[in-house]
Amino acid sequence: MFLAHLLRDAGLAAVVLEQRSRLYVEGRVRAGVLEDGTAQLMERLGLAGRLRREGLVHGGVTLASEHGVFRIDFAALTGRAITVYGQQEVMKDLFDAAEARGIEVVFEAAEVMPHGIDGERPHVTWRADGAEQRLDCDFVVGCDGSHGASRSVIPPGALTTYARDYPFGWLGVLADAPPAAEELIYANHERGFALASMRSATRSRYYVQCALDEAPEAWPDARFWDELTLRLGPAGGGLTRGPALEKTLAALRSSVTEPMRFGRLFLAGDAAHIVPPTGAKGLNLAVADVTLLAAALAEHYAERSDTGLDAYSACALARVWKAERFSWALTRLTHRFPAEGAIERKLQLAELDYLATSRAAQTAFAENYVGLPLESFSLGRG
């Protein structure tokens, strides 16, 4: 949807094929943190009206461990911030504006399949209302995740995937209760990781690290709140308990697929890479991908140049790998790994102590958390 708006802004037509209904997409709870660049893009595209009114701007983040609690000041270190605004709210804004701007979105498109991606004129087929539909186009962009149709039509051996599955999950609870603090809290406790976040001033989102084979049903509300309170420690002094509206278990995975192009098919977002939720990079990486791709497509049509298209994969991957590194490092810093012992725990705490006292370390952390500037990743121009 971001890509469709970017292309329309450049005077280019695109059709978005969505497998689910609009109601389903707008109802599913996903990411909640927008990097500075994502918020700025929404502003530039004229999509930021509700974001300005309802988004929660955070100028920092708090980290906690048994050694104490400290805050990293994004605003002071980088001059930038993050904004808490749910992905489902972003989707509502994108859909509303698409309707007003005449961007074509086909909902409940079944059996979507790209064809002829290695030729000059690809096309896409899907089924709607019991009949097969076909769209001839210049390019196809797969934004359909790691198990989508886009990846399936690329020949075996053309892609290389680098992946790591983590030996734990996140048990998440959504509750109608005010947040424990004004900003996010990442807690490293001897019993495991915890995160205090929010979706609004009245709705909170909390997570605790748990085993992958644990069922959400094994965590009644009282057990969850007790464990969360213990792991947050003094940092969670403002915690308010409330009935869980939703309780889910999410596995953590790092994955990057290279290259992000085959012929006239381009991959973006989860179709090319997955990050653990630590650091909130998933949605923001997808937006960065399509921002680069939209610029390359605009150059192709305006200047009859394929320089940007040819550079897309390498430029996008340069940013992807840096975000993967940050998310992996933050996961390592804040979680307890089953196979690790006392020395790894001591090293973890030493790293946290260094981060608490080093402005240089905090600056590097802040730069990565608010999002590396997209202009640092030029499309084939050095």
pLDDT tens sequence across 36-68: 999 999 999 999 999 999 999 999 999 999 999
User: Scanning the structure block, which residue is given the tokens 């019993």?
Assistant: 191
Task: Give the residue among 139, 90, 130, 140 at the shortest CA–CA distance from 109.
Answer: 130
| DSSP line for 96-128 | HHHHHHT-EEE-S-EEEEEE-TTSSS-EEEEEE
Check if the beta carbon of residue 99 is closer than 8 Å to that of residue 88: no
Coil, helix or strand at residue 90: helix
Residue type, 321: W
pLDDT value of residue 378: 64
Q: How far apart are CA 247 and CA 172, in angstroms?
A: 6
Query: Which position among 273, 281, 300, 335 bears the catalytic label?
Result: 281
pLDDT value of residue 381: 46
Whether 29 is in a domain gets the answer yes
For the record, the structure tokens of 369 come out as 């958390």
Whether 133 is in a domain gets the answer yes
pLDDT value of residue 133: 97
Surface-to-core class of residue 311, CB atoms within 10 Å of its CB (0-12 exposed, 13-18 middle, 19+ buried):
middle
Check if the beta carbon of residue 265 is closer than 8 Å to that of residue 142: yes
**Catalytic residue status for 322:** no
Whether 375 is in a domain gets the answer no
**Catalytic residue status for 58:** yes
pLDDT value of residue 382: 39
Average pLDDT in the 326-348 region? 95
Mean of the per-residue pLDDT values of the chain: 95
Confidence of residue 379 (pLDDT cuts 50, 70, 90): low
CA 316 from centre of chain: 15
Average pLDDT in the 173-189 region? 96
Q: Which residues contact 267 (CB under 8 A, 6 or more apart)?
A: 141, 142, 150, 151, 257, 260, 261
Coil, helix or strand at residue 325: helix
**Beta strands at 110-115 and 60-65: parallel, antiparallel or unpaired:** unpaired
Whether 31 is in a domain gets the answer yes
Q: Which residues contact 308 (CB under 8 A, 6 or more apart)?
A: 292, 295, 296, 297, 299, 300, 379, 380
Which helix (DSSP H) or strand (DSSP E) does residue 207 occupy? strand 204-210
- Provide the domain count of the chain: 1
Query: Which position among 114, 122, 179, 186 bears the catalytic label?
Result: 186
Query: Which position among 58, 189, 300, 335 bears the catalytic label?
Result: 58
Q: How far apart are CA 292 and CA 288, in angstroms?
A: 6
User: Scanning the structure block, which residue is given the tokens 């000041």?
Assistant: 73
Quick count: other Cβ atoms within 10 Å of Cβ 125? 16
Look at residue 198 and tell me whether its pLDDT is greater than 60.
yes
pTM for the structure as a whole: 0.94
Least confident of 68-77, 86-95, 235-244, 373-382: 373-382
pLDDT value of residue 31: 76
Q: Cα–Cα distances in Å, from 186 out to 128, 327, 335, 350?
A: 45, 13, 10, 16
Domain hosting 17: range is 2-59+82-163+253-334
Confidence of residue 375 (pLDDT cuts 50, 70, 90): confident
Whether 342 is in a domain gets the answer no
**Per-residue pLDDT reduced to its tens digit, 112-150:** 999 999 999 999 999 998 899 999 999 999 999 999 999
**Catalytic residue status for 179:** no
Q: How far apart are CA 6 and CA 46, in angstroms?
A: 11
Q: Which residues make beta-bridge pairs with 13?
A: none
Torsion of CA 164, 173, 335, 274, to 10 degrees: 20
Query: Which position among 85, 166, 207, 369 bears the catalytic label?
Result: 369
Whether 312 is in a domain gets the answer yes
For the record, the structure tokens of 18 come out as 């969505």
Q: Which residues contact 248 (CB under 8 A, 6 or more apart)?
A: 171, 172, 216
**Per-residue pLDDT reduced to its tens digit, 202-233:** 999 999 999 999 999 999 999 999 999 999 99
Q: How far apart are CA 113 and CA 153, in angstroms?
A: 8
Find the CATH number of the domain harbouring 107.
3.50.50.60
Whether 20 is in a domain gets the answer yes
Coil, helix or strand at residue 214: coil
CA 340 from centre of chain: 28
pLDDT value of residue 139: 98
Long-range contacts for 44-50 (Cβ within 8 Å, ≥24 apart)?
45/2, 45/5, 45/6, 45/9, 45/97, 46/97, 47/5, 47/93, 47/94, 47/97, 48/93, 49/93, 50/89, 50/92, 50/93
pLDDT value of residue 374: 82
User: Would you call the peptide bond into 179 cis, given omega within 30 degrees of 0 as the criterion?
Assistant: no
Query: Which position among 114, 122, 276, 277 bears the catalytic label?
Result: 277
Q: How far apart are CA 97 and CA 99, in angstroms?
A: 5
Whether 374 is in a domain gets the answer no
